[in-house]
Amino acid sequence: MQALGRQILVEFYDCDPNVLNDVNLIEKYMVEACDVANATIVKTVVHKFSPYGVSGVVVIAESHVAIHTWPEYNYAAVDIFTCGETISPWTIYKYLESKLKCKNSSMMELKRGLFDDAYQKIYHKPHEEEVCESK
């Protein structure tokens, strides 16, 4: 069974509420996590809610990293979705766990885009022959 990607759904508990409520730190740490994993950043959008909480998405060529924080509960929900074999979602997970000063977490990994064709290679991006033929 081949998969187009891996997705980690993360629950970060007992985090530093000051970090969770700081829009600049959340953006910085998400970008750094993607850099550490050698992901290719396409676009970043982060929003601060009133009176507290931050949501953000880093779109990467390999898919995305999203976060939603609840500083009042010392909690963050994170979604890390990567395609291909070039980066590990677990590198991003470990980096964010450290920067959010998380004391407890739970996570689940899902395989996305499962195909039962063992005789055909799955491409995560258009491969060269297809790109050349379409020109």
Q: What 3-state DSSP class applies to 93?
A: helix
C-alpha span between 89 and 111 (Å, rounded): 12
**Is 64 a residue of the active site?**
no
Q: Catalytic annotation on 15?
A: no
Q: Would you say 62 and 40 are in contact if contact means Cβ atoms under 8 Å apart? A: yes
* Catalytic choice (15, 34, 64, 83): 83
Catalytic, out of 55, 68, 88, 105: 68
Spot the catalytic one: 34, 63, 64, 102.
Answer: 63
Residue 34's Cβ-count burial label (10 Å; 0-12, 13-18, 19+) is buried
63 given a catalytic annotation:
yes
Catalytic residue set: 63, 68, 83
